[in-house]
Structure 1
Amino acid sequence: MSYVTPGSRDRRRLVTDVREALRDLNIQLSLLNRRFGARAELKDVDWNCVDLLNRYGPLTPSALARRAGLHPATMTGVLDRLQRGGWITRERDPDSPDRRAVTIRARKERNAELYQLFSGMNQQMEQICADYTESELELIATFLRRTTEAGDVATRRLEDE
């Protein structure tokens, strides 16, 4: 592995290359998600909510709205669409003193459909990852997590402005 001097022209070019590659990745993933959503009959925001529920759920509507970056009033419409489509269930929370309290769960039996739609991308990712060592994959995963955290910080700053 070769290193470049901090502040050097080569380093600035490489950092620019990383930023440009991330922009390209963002565009391509947006296109993939749009196509995926069309096939699954899910709007982008609906798909994001199903994915969040599959990863972090079950969640309350307000917790899901926070994670998705949506206004609670918008979340109501999203949840209505997802329930009509059979992607989620709303369950009353029997332990809550508020009888209106609900928990949102993804319907796990629908995941096979999602996996099938993403199988092409998953196969491509397996092929790409096969070309890297374990330590390189650790480095890539760390970079992506840190980039995600940076995006979260930037998002919160924009919310506060």
Structure 2
Amino acid sequence: MNGDRGRRRLVGDLKRTFRDVNNQIALLTHHVATQVELRDIDLDCLDYLAQNGPTTPSALARQAGVHPATMTGVIDRLEKGGWIQRQRDAQDRRAVLISARPDAIGAVFRHYDGMNAQMDAALAEYSPDELKIIAGFLARTAAAARRAVAEFVGAD
């Protein structure tokens, strides 16, 4: 019984720590967005494009969890600011792909250099096998979050 209680306590501690990590990253993102004069959602969308490459406005809206009409405003602001570009599909001129401008996103993500250095220092303490465990945990946590979002959105 004590083992179960100890495990529950550890799991609870991990969840609380993960919430703290989430809050600190959200705060950092907010400060970066303010520094580069973007809204938080705009920066989130720019980050998604930087990580995943070109996509359609509707796919970006689904990823960001916003209504397509809201995404139109996000895309308009990002394009006006020079952060992204719209490209017409050569095969289907009605289709539009949105992509991050590599020259622009470098300026944004340099604001994360301090966090990246802090992460490098923290991760330097772990062996390759431990890093694999951490990476697996984070991948499963991200998948769990995607499922929770899908369930939440499906409840609307």
Q: Output the TM-score relative to the length of structure 1.
A: 0.92
Deviates more, 1:77-86 or 1:57-66: 57-66
1:100: how far off?
2.8
**What percentage of aligned pairs have identical amino acids?**
48
Secondary structure (helix, strand or coil) at the match of 1:86 reads coil
Q: State the partner residue of 1:104.
A: 98
Q: Give 2:74's match in structure 1, choosing from 72, 78, 89.
A: 78
Secondary structure (helix, strand or coil) at the match of 2:87 reads strand
Q: State the partner residue of 2:126.
A: 132
Secondary structure (helix, strand or coil) at the match of 1:94 reads coil
Whole-Å separation in 2 of the counterparts to 1:32 and 1:85: 21
Whole-Å separation in 2 of the counterparts to 1:157 and 1:65: 17
1:40 is aligned with what amino acid? Answer: V
Secondary structure (helix, strand or coil) at the match of 1:59 reads coil
1:113 is aligned with what amino acid? Answer: A
1:67: how far off?
1.4
Q: Output the TM-score relative to the length of structure 2.
A: 0.94
Whole-Å separation in 2 of the counterparts to 1:49 and 1:11: 37
In structure 2, runs of 5+ residues without a counterpart are: none
Secondary structure (helix, strand or coil) at the match of 2:86 reads strand
Q: Give 2:114's match in structure 1, choosing from 108, 114, 120.
A: 120
- The ranges of structure 1 where at least 4 consecutive aligned residues each deviate by more than 3 angstroms after the TM superposition are none
Pairwise CA RMSD: 1.4
Counterpart check, 1:31 vs 2:27: yes
In structure 1, runs of 5+ residues without a counterpart are: none
